Amino acid sequence: MTLDAVDRQIILATQAGLPLVPQPYRFVARQVGISVEELMRRMEAIRESGVIRRIGAVPNHYKLGYKFNGMTVWDVNDDMIDELGAQVGRLDFVSHCYHRPRHLPDWPYNLFAMVHSKSKEGVQEKIAVIEQVLGKHCRGQTVLYSSRILKKTGLRIGG
């Protein structure tokens, strides 16, 4: 979808969050200078197009107790990766799943799946499930735990 100047204003006005007032869309519409009907119509269209992934609460998973974040990486046959990636992505404990390039010889992994758990054992159990899905099509794997957050800011577009 092509976003026009008004859509872009809507994004700028909402990317830090929706206001916690009884009529939040009216509030944003006033900021942007359009009617609430137009604002809601545009936001529906932006959501339909996939530019908005979803509207809602974004929890801080550390504060919910999910302290073990394993980036599991897998060396999967290229001709099977789309089929298997889709299957791994459907597992309910995987939050992100991507095909990314290898950097041979020191980085042979091409399938990335983020797994979150409240314990290290929990991550290990989930890795075992992914291993079963990939079966003989996987030549190697490892898991990289995050030991420290060095920087975290939301993604923002400029004004």
Which residues from 51-70 bind other proteins, rule CB under 8 A? 51-61, 63-64, 66
149 scored as a contact of other proteins (CB under 8 A): yes
Report the nearest approach of other proteins to the CB of residue 33 (Å): 18
104 scored as a contact of other proteins (CB under 8 A): no
80 scored as a contact of other proteins (CB under 8 A): no
Cis amide bond preceding 101, omega within 30: no
Q: Measure the CA–CA gap between 73 and 110, rounded to whole angstroms.
A: 7
Q: What is the number of other CB atoms lying within 10 angstroms of the CB of residue 110?
A: 19
Residue type, 58: V
CB-count burial class (<10 Å; 0-12, 13-18, 19+) for 133 = middle
Q: Measure the CA–CA gap between 128 and 131, rounded to whole angstroms.
A: 5
5 scored as a contact of other proteins (CB under 8 A): no
Q: Single out the residue of 90, 119, 121, 131 in contact with other proteins (rule: CB under 8 A).
A: 90
Q: Measure the CA–CA gap between 36 and 21, rounded to whole angstroms.
A: 14
159 scored as a contact of other proteins (CB under 8 A): no
- Binders of other proteins among residues 106 to 135 (CB under 8 A) are 106-107, 110, 112, 116
Q: Measure the CA–CA gap between 108 and 159, rounded to whole angstroms.
A: 39
Kindly tell me which of 88 and 138 has the beta carbon lying closer to other proteins. Answer: 88
Q: Single out the residue of 105, 135, 158, 159 in contact with other proteins (rule: CB under 8 A).
A: 158
- Binders of other proteins among residues 34 to 53 (CB under 8 A) are 36, 40, 43-44, 46-47, 49-53
Report the nearest approach of other proteins to the CB of residue 136 (Å): 20
Contact 131, 138 (CB under 8 A): yes
Report the nearest approach of other proteins to the CB of residue 149 (Å): 6
